[in-house]
Structure 1
Amino acid sequence: MPPIPGTFGVWQVRWDRAAPLGYVFSSPEPGGIVNHCYAHARDDAGGRPRLRRENSLNSAVERIIQHERELSALKGRLHPEPDEWPS
């Protein structure tokens, strides 16, 4: 859960620090918290491609892990992620 209820949180999904798969961004919307899945890459406009919207953090993380192969192929067609995740 986000550190402050009703706010947002960002989680990086990875097997190890060197190879992140993607991110989950949780934000409050009418009706509850919504979790957006993003790839660990940048599109031509410099943004992270949004992959899907899930109703729970667990479902969002599961979606990224289950589609690791597709994410790897997508990342190969996009620009590398310029930002290093904070330690």
Structure 2
Amino acid sequence: MARSWYAFIPGGDPTDIERYWKVTVKHSCLCGNQICAIYAKGLGVNPDIPLSPNMYKYIKNALITGQLQPETPIDSKKYVYLKFI
């Protein structure tokens, strides 16, 4: 299954796939206090239901630490980016 970038629309639950919309432009996010974008499985406007257990973990850890996820290993592909609001 293909992965795509999905931008988070603020104001709701960051684990609700309805709060994410597929984007085709490169985001400029890195770290912060709010989810900016996730790299998730999906072909449509929203990510596939349900988000994977790893994605749930990455979102939770990102909100706790304020760091993109996964943090380790350092050179791993990042799936969750944040921004400051």
Between structure 1 and structure 2, the one with the greater Rg is: 1
Greater relative contact order structure (CA < 8 Å, 6+ sep): 2
TM-score for both structures, normalised by structure 2: 0.33
TM-score for both structures, normalised by structure 1: 0.33
More helix by share: 1
More strand by share: 1
